[in-house]
């Protein structure tokens, strides 16, 4: 046996051993039919776990304090926002079932092998910010647990240590891969359910419901703005949706994918938003708290503060693990020729560094989060508009062409670019920024028009990029290679 053959055999044996112990060794290459054994029902705990964040409680409080909405308006916003945002996430997730590959790998078929580097690079950088926000929130939860239970007050060293512990734990889960993520998500679903029962019981007992229901209704424009802000958080998951559906068989129904995605998100978003809205009637400071985790933890009785903090910590761990899991794929599509778990490590280090800066230097956590969320939604929406319209004309993906980054790839197009996709993406992104305003940035058209006033720059981005891509001349759809798997469900 040659040295090369012996090395390849040893490597294959090592990968099989790692997979048996739960480590996912597959990278951006499409999943073969024999391994696509997941079910659409498994998406329910996935999207429940993706939304267990105390930031939704804070945003619910903001609907009352900053936007002037009453309970019933918050209820409408809490239903509409996840329906719109995660409806799009579910629809984009259908592409993962069709192609069996991560979202940014499938994106090569749309933008071209080189053209995909443009939205891929922007989305990867945006992931840094999302993971930093999550890491900071998780570290705050851990710091509050230490202070409430053991009287240990925070200092600079402790802040760095807790942030480091959070990031390492996140990396461990995301580095293990899809099996570890799914396992943790199932447990998080039960944990959130138990916590919701406790919170509901306490809110019923201590809330001044006359004050809650007696609040005046706010303007409809404020409802639109609030729904847009909450939906923007859900929009951040759209490029990663195929990452969690690629293990579904080709016969999995599209309706079930969308239904379980929207249902999983809605089960969490609505009660957390309403919890924030009800809490704000007695404690309006929640809407602007520099550290919302500690604010709530210190205001609750001990018997509820501890489970609340545990849920907050577990939720942020899993949200960050899912984000880093997808970020590893994005890094690989950008040319990082390393195993998926090492690609994940790059994002872990970045979130650790940026998280330290935010915790030690930022004066207003919520202001930083809201500003980042506005820009993040626009960055992702330009890709969604183009990719979503392309899904209407493309029923399958060529597995070989997705992995071939040379001139021989069927997805090379013109010098590695699809002119229609790149132009529509760039113009859509620019349009969205024109209508976007936040603490860090104000577009020249952000004021004095409905889109800018309602904070729907991300929606304008989807519409413009999608329409442009629909009308521009596009390369012919490349048929899948011979030997493609079973027929696809519609």
> Residues 6 or more apart from 213 whose CB is under 8 A from it?
70, 71
Q: Compute the distance between CA of residue 340 and CA of residue 19 in angstroms, rounded to an integer.
A: 13
Taken in order 332, 336, 339, 343, the sign of the CA dihedral is: negative
pLDDT at 435 over 90: no
**Eight-class DSSP state of 448:** S
CA distances from 264 to 75, 166, 178, 187, 253 (A): 17, 25, 18, 14, 17
CA terminus-to-terminus distance, the chain: 48
> Residues 6 or more apart from 102 whose CB is under 8 A from it?
28, 96, 240, 242, 243, 246, 326, 329, 330, 333
> Residues 6 or more apart from 295 whose CB is under 8 A from it?
283, 285, 286, 289
pLDDT of amino acid 479: 74
- Are the CB atoms for 104 and 122 separated by under 8 Å? no
CA distances from 324 to 21, 129, 170, 278, 395 (A): 20, 11, 8, 33, 28
Q: Compute the distance between CA of residue 406 and CA of residue 82 in angstroms, rounded to an integer.
A: 40
pLDDT at 77 over 90: yes
pLDDT at 452 over 60: no
pLDDT of amino acid 372: 64
pLDDT of amino acid 466: 96
Q: Is residue 275 helix, strand or coil?
A: helix
CA-wise closest residue to 426 among 362, 472, 383, 460: 383
Most confident of 47-56, 80-89, 295-304, 480-489: 80-89
Torsion of CA 154, 157, 158, 162, to 10 degrees: 140
Q: Compute the distance between CA of residue 166 and CA of residue 246 in angstroms, rounded to an integer.
A: 28
Mean model confidence pLDDT for the chain: 83
Q: Compute the distance between CA of residue 292 and CA of residue 275 in angstroms, rounded to an integer.
A: 13
- Are the CB atoms for 228 and 62 separated by under 8 Å? no
CA-wise closest residue to 58 among 211, 229, 186, 258: 229
- Are the CB atoms for 358 and 132 separated by under 8 Å? yes
Q: Compute the distance between CA of residue 383 and CA of residue 377 in angstroms, rounded to an integer.
A: 10
> Residues 6 or more apart from 79 whose CB is under 8 A from it?
266, 270
pLDDT of amino acid 363: 53
pLDDT of amino acid 449: 60
pLDDT at 169 over 50: yes
Q: Compute the distance between CA of residue 370 and CA of residue 225 in angstroms, rounded to an integer.
A: 12
CA-wise closest residue to 137 among 355, 308, 323: 355
CA-wise closest residue to 27 among 438, 403, 404: 403
Q: What is the pLDDT of residues 195-245, one digit of tens each?
A: 777 877 887 788 888 888 888 999 988 898 889 889 888 888 999 999 999
Tell me which of 17-21, 184-188, 229-233, 326-330 is least confident: 17-21
- 442 backbone dihedrals φ, ψ, rounded to 5°: -135, 115
pLDDT at 398 over 90: yes
pLDDT of amino acid 369: 59
Q: Compute the distance between CA of residue 411 and CA of residue 134 in angstroms, rounded to an integer.
A: 35
pLDDT at 481 over 70: no
- 417 backbone dihedrals φ, ψ, rounded to 5°: -120, 145
Q: What is the pLDDT of residues 345-356, one digit of tens each?
A: 777 888 888 777
């Amino acid at each position: 046996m040659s040295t090369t053959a012996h090395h390849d055999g040893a490597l294959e044996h090592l990968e099989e051993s790692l997979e048996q112990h739960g480590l996912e060794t597959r990278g951006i290459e499409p999943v073969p039919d024999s391994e696509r054994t997941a079910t659409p029902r498994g998406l329910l705990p996935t999207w429940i776990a993706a939304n267990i964040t105390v930031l939704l409680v804070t945003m619910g409080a903001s609907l009352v304090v900053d936007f002037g909405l009453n309970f019933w308006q918050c209820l409408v916003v809490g239903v509409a926002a996840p329906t719109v945002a995660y409806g799009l996430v579910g629809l984009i997730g259908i592409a993962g079932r069709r192609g069996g590959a991560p979202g940014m790998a499938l994106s090569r078929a749309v933008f071209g092998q080189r053209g995909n580097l443009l939205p891929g690079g922007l989305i990867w950088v945006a992931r840094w910010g999302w993971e930093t926000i999550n890491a900071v929130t998780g570290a705050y939860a851990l710091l509050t647990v230490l202070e409430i239970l053991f009287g240990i007050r925070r200092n600079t060293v402790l802040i760095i240590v807790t942030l480091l512990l959070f990031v390492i734990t996140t990396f461990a889960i995301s580095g293990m891969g899809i099996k570890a993520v799914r396992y943790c998500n199932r447990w998080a679903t039960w944990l959130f359910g138990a916590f919701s029962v406790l919170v509901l019981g306490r809110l019923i007992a201590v809330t001044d419901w006359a004050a809650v229901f007696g609040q005046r209704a706010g303007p409809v424009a404020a409802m639109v703005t609030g729904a847009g802000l909450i939906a923007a958080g859900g929009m951040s998951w759209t490029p990663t949706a195929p990452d969690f559906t690629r293990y579904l068989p080709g016969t999995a129904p599209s309706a079930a994918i969308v239904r379980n995605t929207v249902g999983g998100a809605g089960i969490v978003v609505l009660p957390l938003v309403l919890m924030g809205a009800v809490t704000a009637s007695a404690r309006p400071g929640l809407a602007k708290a520099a550290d919302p985790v500690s604010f709530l933890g210190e205001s609750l009785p001990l018997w509820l503060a501890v489970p609340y903090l545990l849920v907050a910590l577990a939720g942020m761990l899993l949200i960050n693990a899912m984000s880093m899991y997808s970020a590893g794929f994005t890094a690989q599509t950008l040319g990082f020729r390393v195993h998926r778990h090492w690609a994940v490590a790059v994002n872990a280090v970045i979130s650790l560094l940026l998280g330290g800066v935010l915790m030690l230097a930022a004066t207003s956590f919520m202001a930083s989060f809201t500003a980042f969320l506005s820009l993040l939604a626009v960055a992702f929406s330009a890709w969604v508009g183009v990719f979503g319209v392309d899904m209407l004309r493309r029923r399958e993906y060529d597995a070989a062409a997705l992995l071939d980054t040379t001139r021989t790839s069927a997805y090379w197009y013109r010098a590695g670019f699809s002119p229609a996709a790149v132009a529509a993406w760039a113009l859509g992104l620019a349009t969205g920024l024109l209508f976007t305003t936040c603490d860090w940035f104000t577009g020249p058209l952000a004021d004095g028009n409905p889109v800018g006033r309602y904070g729907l720059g991300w929606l304008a981005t989807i519409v413009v990029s999608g329409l442009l891509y629909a009308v521009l001349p596009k390369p012919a759809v490349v048929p899948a290679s011979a030997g493609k798997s079973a027929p696809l469900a519609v």
